[in-house]
Amino acid sequence: MARARFAPSPTGPIHIGNIRTALFNYLFVRSSGSGNTMVLRIEDTDVQRSSGEYEKLIFNELKWLGIEWDEGPDRGGHHGPYRQSERLETYRKYIESLIEEGKAYYCFCTPEELEEDKKKALEEGDIPKYSGRCSRLAPEEIERYIREGRPATVRFKLPINKPVIFDDMIKGRIEINSDTLGGDLVILKSDGMPTYNFAVVIDDHLMGITHVIRGEDHLSNTPKQILLYEALGWEKPLFAHAPLILGPDRTKLSKRHGNTYIGQYRDEGYLPEAMFNYLALLSWSPDGERELLTKEEIIQQFRIDRVNKANPVFDIDKLNWINSHYIRQSPAERIVELAIPHLIESGLMTGEEARERREWVKLVVEAVQESLVKVSDITDRARIFFENSPSPKDDEAMEVLRGEHVKGLLQLFKAKLEGVEEVDEEICSGIFKAIQKETGIKGKSLFMPVRVAATGQCHGPDLMKTLLILGKDRLIARIGYMLDNYVQGKE
């Protein structure tokens, strides 16, 4: 049975690239049949930057996207603990074993000495790497330095001129020479914390991880980890390194390209199923031409060997297209729930007003839902329903109001509104038919002036829905305002 893991560091908001890695692990496990396991492990040995708040954020973002795990800090399991900070004694045991076997040693080199090694190697045209000077210390020197309390790391002895070969499930056969890895590897820092490359090997082995799926930025770590597996006498897992996500300028996706954290997209009103669908398509190709796929369809079709080697570009336009599709397909009540915080934050209504007028808000959402790319667009699309006295929004709207027949038309429309108790679809339709019969005005010449008078713009939600949402009194007030301030010409 396959066991894969997602092992983030709780040192900040979770990046789009990391979420895509989590998604690929999840899809691999769920698509490979029953009995496979998704493990969530928290790599929190960076004491200064790790926090419980960021750990909670990781849980929340994964759950929001629909990525479930079978074992983890919050769910337990037979291979815990699932936080590295709770596994320090385990790491120490294997550190001591490697030292006893002569495969690792204490290093007392100062930062200045290490910089000297690096400078010397560069001057000689070599790859900068540790000289190995502490590997030649006599036992009595090591004991004396320890008694003196000198800060020490522990280094793993890398073999000399050894080819490290492995078959990557995405990239194919890879071979790297051990001499290019920077010299003997630090596996325990002077503060007693294990380094990433050491801890991940111990954890993956003890947790029974069979497949390591991660970003290609970890590719340089893989040969180091393979050598540790060999030194410990353990079978290595299978590796897959997914290509990194690029920005539109084809450089690694970063803040300069816009939003890079999954929570930023959630907060703007991207739906989880849209983000799930879109991220799955970054490097992976489904069967056929369809790109709008449900979570179940993606799981059914996903195969790790269909992940492309080329770096995908994060295409916000495509994400927007996918998201707008899922918004249109969603029940209005769901969009209302997501839209209300945006309406409140923008100052268009208070929380109390949102509670008291929820059914009215639903009508507003239903009127603009088709035009939403993300839920936060509601503040612009629906603003026309909240303004007291909208003015013409552009030259096109002003041109409509300059029509010779517009003043008389709007006065007649306003008078007929004043003659009814309230507006509904039947009454509004009757008013339009009556005006057409009395004046001969029809089509765009009839409807467009009313739209501009009611909303200040030539384009927008369905006109009939707009009139019903605004209601009799507000329509009368708006048309009167336009007549008094912007409409000229004959009555």
Domain ends where: 364, 385, 406?
385
What contacts 24+ positions apart, CB below 8 Å, involve 394-402? Answer: 394/457, 394/458, 396/458, 397/452, 397/456, 397/457, 397/458, 398/486, 400/448, 400/449, 400/452, 400/458, 401/449, 401/452, 401/453, 401/482, 401/486, 401/487, 401/488, 402/488, 402/489
For residue 440, the one-letter residue type is G
Mean pLDDT of 98-121: 91
- Out of 113-117, 306-310, 330-334, 342-346, least confident range: 113-117
User: Do residue 356 and residue 300 come from a single domain?
Assistant: no
As for how many domains the chain has, the answer is 4
- pLDDT tens by residue, 27-67: 999 998 888 999 999 999 888 899 999 999 999 999 999 99
Residue 322 lies in a domain: no
User: Do residue 224 and residue 112 come from a single domain?
Assistant: yes
- pLDDT tens by residue, 447-466: 999 999 999 999 999 999 99
Domain range for 353: 330-385
For the record, the structure tokens of 281 come out as 């398509």
Mean pLDDT of 7-11: 96
SS3 115: helix
Domain ends where: 224, 242, 260?
242
User: Do residue 401 and residue 270 come from a single domain?
Assistant: no
User: Do residue 102 and residue 207 come from a single domain?
Assistant: yes
Check residue 120 and give its pLDDT.
82
User: Do residue 27 and residue 167 come from a single domain?
Assistant: no
The whole-model pTM stands at 0.91
User: Do residue 236 and residue 166 come from a single domain?
Assistant: yes
- pLDDT tens by residue, 284-302: 999 888 999 999 999 999 9
Beta carbons within 10 angstroms of residue 350's beta carbon = 11
User: Do residue 80 and residue 107 come from a single domain?
Assistant: no
- d(Cα 491, Cα 412) in Å, to the nearest integer? 9
Check residue 397 and give its pLDDT.
94
User: Do residue 100 and residue 238 come from a single domain?
Assistant: yes
Check residue 34 and give its pLDDT.
82
CATH label of the domain that carries residue 58:
3.40.50.620
Residue 15 lies in a domain: yes
Whether 255 is a known active-site residue: answer: yes
Report residue 127: phi and psi, to 5°.
-70, 125
**Alpha helix locations (H) across 52-100?**
52-65, 88-100
* 489 band by pLDDT with thresholds 50, 70 and 90: low
Percent of the chain residues topping a pLDDT of 70: 99
- pLDDT tens by residue, 146-159: 999 999 999 999 99
User: Do residue 409 and residue 477 come from a single domain?
Assistant: yes
- pLDDT tens by residue, 195-246: 999 999 999 999 999 999 999 999 999 999 999 999 999 999 999 999 999 9
- d(Cα 82, Cα 39) in Å, to the nearest integer? 9
DSSP string, 404-428: TTHHHHHHHHHHHHHTSSS--HHHH
User: Do residue 280 and residue 237 come from a single domain?
Assistant: no
User: Do residue 219 and residue 265 come from a single domain?
Assistant: no
Residue 78 lies in a domain: yes
Secondary structure element (H or E) that encloses residue 381, with its range: helix 378-381
Secondary structure element (H or E) that encloses residue 361, with its range: helix 358-368
Choose the catalytic residue: 255, 433, 437, 442. 255
Check residue 71 and give its pLDDT.
98
Check residue 362 and give its pLDDT.
97
Domain ends where: 366, 385, 404?
385
For the record, the structure tokens of 20 come out as 């895509």
Check residue 121 and give its pLDDT.
77
Nearest to 416 by CA among 479, 356, 326, 354: 479
Tell me the HSE value of 130 on the side-chain side, using a 13 A CA sphere. Answer: 23
Residue 153 lies in a domain: yes
CATH label of the domain that carries residue 467:
1.10.10.350
Question: What is the strand order of the sheet 153-156 is part of?
Answer: 104-107, 153-156, 185-188
